[in-house]
Amino acid sequence: MSTDPYPHLQQRDARPVTLSDLARMKSEGEKIACLTAYDASFAALEDRAGVDVVLVGDSLGMVVQGHSSTVPVTVDDMVYHSRITAAGLGRAFLMTDLPFLSYATKHDALATAHRLMGEGAAQMVKFEGGEIQADTVEHLSMRGVPVCAHIGLQPQLVHKLGGFRVQGRGDAAETMIRDAKLLEEAGADMILLECVPAALGAEITANAGVPVIGIGAGPDTDGQILVVYDILGLSPGRKPRFVKNFMDDAGTLDAAAADYVAAVKDGRYPAPEHAFS
Ligand SMILES: Nc1nc(=O)c2c([nH]1)NC[C@@H]1CN(c3ccc(C(=O)N[C@@H](CCC(=O)O)C(=O)O)cc3)CN21
Ligand SMILES: CC(C)C(=O)C(=O)O
Ligand SMILES: [Mg+2]
């Protein structure tokens, strides 16, 4: 008897997406469609919709656990959600966030990445921070851990920043361009850019040799990511400017996820109203 929980829901015969596929997509100008997922059912939904990269985001602290920030999320939480998300995937590449203070030193980061890749089946780990994380990126990358460096708005710093706000305006733009370069030189295989002016998103992407995935970073990044509940209209309250609800027009979960992928691939999402200037 099969122990596969979703035998008919996954892209079981599709060739799995690899890091080199993502690099090729950047060089060929094919947009990379990414979404968060936190469990096997959503993972399977996204997989069959053609999502290229699934992120087990620490946003789960907000949208799954109901906290007002991502700060309370633990490594055990991320391991658990990564493992159950991996169970729903057949084709998509799996990336998992390192939670707050679980990568404060490069040694902590390696131990956390070990758990997320070993127990959590993550294929890449993502953590927040610019130049200050370059040593940690190098430490992991040299040891065979694929790394995505998350810059721009770093939600784990919300108590320092005083809120979730656009980053990289004015003089901060040059610092961010430099951070992206340093992180790539340290071995990052991907950059995630959150909540920055569209012009800065375009410039960082043009300068990067690795794929740049944007959320609120304008239309010119190599790919886009959103929190899955945001595209389904499941997130209550005030929505960030970059959020688009795909459920209203689509009517079913499968169609909403497929429409999101199609809109990212053909550049209809993000539209000007989703970008910051
Ligand atoms: N449901 C959900 N969606 C997300 O995209 C998300 C989470 N949760 N949790 C973790 C972080 C927090 N994020 C956020 C949250 C709020 C804004 C926001 O309200 N931004 C203002 C910017 C205002 C400004 O500085 O001009 C906006 O109007 O979009 C942005 C990113 C992104 N991530
Ligand atoms: C919003 C994305 C980029 C993220 O880091 C998360 O979901 O935690
Ligand atoms: Mg995150």
pLDDT at residue 37, rounded to an integer = 99
Task: In whole angstroms, give the CA distance from residue 249 to residue 268.
Answer: 14
Q: What is the pTM of this model?
A: 0.96
Domains: count for the chain? 1
Q: Residue 6: is its pLDDT beyond 50?
A: no
Distance between Cα 233 and ligand 3 center (Å):
19
Residue 14 lies in a domain: no
Domain-embedded: residue 12:
no
pLDDT band at residue 3 using 50, 70 and 90 as cut-offs: low
Tokens 């990052």 locate to 188
Q: Would residue 227 count as lying in a domain?
A: yes
C-beta of 36 in contact with ligand 2 (< 6 A): yes
| CA 155 to ligand 3 center in whole angstroms | 7
212 within 8 A of 177, measured Cβ to Cβ:
no
CA 64/CA 74 separation, integer angstroms? 13
The enclosing domain of 169 has a CATH number of 3.20.20.60
Q: Which residues participate in catalysis according to the annotation?
A: 194
| 118 contacts: CB under 8 Å, gap ≥ 6 | none
Residue 231 inside a domain? The answer is yes
Residue to substitute in 34, 35, 59 for testing ligand 1 pocket (most ligand atoms within 8 angstroms of CB): 59
ipTM here: 0.98
Going from the Cα of 1 to the center of ligand 3, the distance in angstroms, rounded, reads 37
Structural domain of residue 148, as residue ranges?
A: 19-274
* Residue pointed to by tokens 């939670």: 99
CB contact at 8 A, 100 and 118: no
Q: Please check whether residue 243 lies inside any domain of the structure.
A: yes
Q: Is the CB of 227 under 6 A from ligand 2?
A: yes
Please tell me if the CB atom of residue 58 comes closer than 6 angstroms to any atom of ligand 2.
Answer: yes
Q: Coil, helix or strand for 41?
A: helix
- Is residue 124 in a domain? yes
Convert the pLDDT of each residue in 241-273 to its tens digit: 999 999 999 999 999 999 999 999 999 999 999
Residue nearest to atom 5 of ligand 2 (CA): 57
List, for residues 7-21, the tens digit of each pLDDT value: 445 566 789 999 999
Mutate to test the pocket of ligand 1, among 128, 151, 195 (most ligand atoms within 8 A of CB): 195
Q: Is 57 in the pocket of ligand 2 (CB under 6 A)?
A: yes
